Amino acid sequence: MTTKELNILPAVTVSFGLGVIFATHLLRLRDRDRLRKACSRTQKHLTKRSQRAALGIDLASYIPLWRDKNYKQKVVVLGAGAFGTAMAYAAAQGGNDTVIYMRDADQCATINKEHRNPKYLSDFPLHVEGGSSEIRGICTLQELEDELSTPGVVILHALPCQLTPPWFKEHKDIIPKDALIVVTAKGLYLRTNQLMGHAILDALDRADQPLAFLSGPSFAEEIMKGNPTTLVVASDELFQAVRVKQMLSNFKTVRVFTSDDPVGVQLGGALKNPLAVGAGMVSGMGFGTNTLSAMVTRASSELRQLCIAMGGNPRTIDGLAGMGDLMLTCFSSQSRNQRCGQRLMKGERVEDIQKDSTVEGIATADVAIVYADMCGLELPIFRCVHSLIHKKITPEEAVLDLMGRRSRK
């Protein structure tokens, strides 16, 4: 090469590198736009406020309020099921003023009188040992409206996924526009194939309602037992995630980490469900730990691919919302999704299994395939689980398909 060619080589190399970086950035923008088009009907989720917060210049939101030492955060838990009860207990342990809303008046009366939930986790008292906070039950919309009118209220949402958007749409007039809604439901809204956050914003018809998403390996019964539990909370506005962390972490039995990746946290929490059904299928076929470990490892890789394609951070899948939750549901018999997979391999019908309890992984498997097709991804484990659920292939064909795939060159 001539001296002149050697002199321009570094410049060409730098230009090529910058071009690759710019092209990658454009692809990520395209993927995020694809996600918004697929998962949102209002198309109003990128507001000036969230853009400022993403750039770190929404300074007014970060100025702390001077509070009295006796100040207690008002926390309203929506839903008195097992996980709602556990979240109320965790919030009360943190010294917060905690109320839990339900429609059943008898259930509410028992919670207030006997300090236990007669329907779920009834063996565990709701009184916090050595604490000054009591969990109060409410069961009327007027009581709920009164509690939500408290300035700075935090709403811990623990309703079933498919009931969530309709509930928020029906009651949006009593939801304060500045109230932080912490979503604990790990699922997708099946009617519109939306992430839960987008479905809630559409239901409220608001673009800037503060939202956070709580996920991670967390069986409700183990939280009530006081087993050390770690969670992750994500929000586009990181200070909102910090609020939840401070509210729920007691640094003894519950510790919460923060994230700025709501997409990744939602996808990890929702799409681990069909993968857990697949783990149950592995056990139901009679295979052992070798097979199950291989399935979970490769499934996490597919989940990571989908997360990247839909605008999330792949590192989120490596953490509590991804691998943590995936291991919990795939290896534990407490998981309804895992038990469902076992029962399917024994010949039971989906309709009969769903009569006993809601299995999010069944319907979520359909949405996973919609997302995979939308992003142009192969995802063979997701597709095999989907096909087995709908009896499009036999277990033997599924094994041959996965094990006989051609290696990538």
- Name the residues annotated as catalytic: 272
86, 262, 339 from 76: Cα distances, Å: 13, 22, 32
Which pair of structure tokens corresponds to residue 160? 């079933």
Q: Are 303 and 264 in contact (CB under 8 A)?
A: no
Of 245, 256, 341, nearest to 291 by C-alpha is 341
316, 361, 372 from 321: Cα distances, Å: 7, 16, 20
Rounded distance between C-alpha atoms, residue 95 and residue 336, angstroms: 32
Q: Are 275 and 250 in contact (CB under 8 A)?
A: no
What DSSP string describes 179-208?
A: PEEEE---SEETTTTEEHHHHHHHHHT-S-
Rounded distance between C-alpha atoms, residue 314 and residue 304, angstroms: 5
Per DSSP, the three-state class of 117 is: coil
Q: Are 345 and 395 in contact (CB under 8 A)?
A: yes
Q: Are 267 and 195 in contact (CB under 8 A)?
A: yes
Per DSSP, the three-state class of 229 is: strand
3-state helix, strand, coil in the chain (%, to 5): 55, 10, 35
Helices (H), 40-127: 48-55, 82-93, 105-114
Which pair of structure tokens corresponds to residue 162? 């498919």
Three-state SS letters, 348-409: CCHHHHHHHCCCHHHHHHHHHHHHHHHHCCCCHHHHHHHHHHCCCCCHHHHHHHHHCCCCCC
Q: Which residue has the tokens 């500045």?
A: 178
Amino acid at the residue 158: A
Q: Are 38 and 193 in contact (CB under 8 A)?
A: yes
Q: Please, what sign has the CA dihedral across residues 148, 152, 155, 156?
A: negative
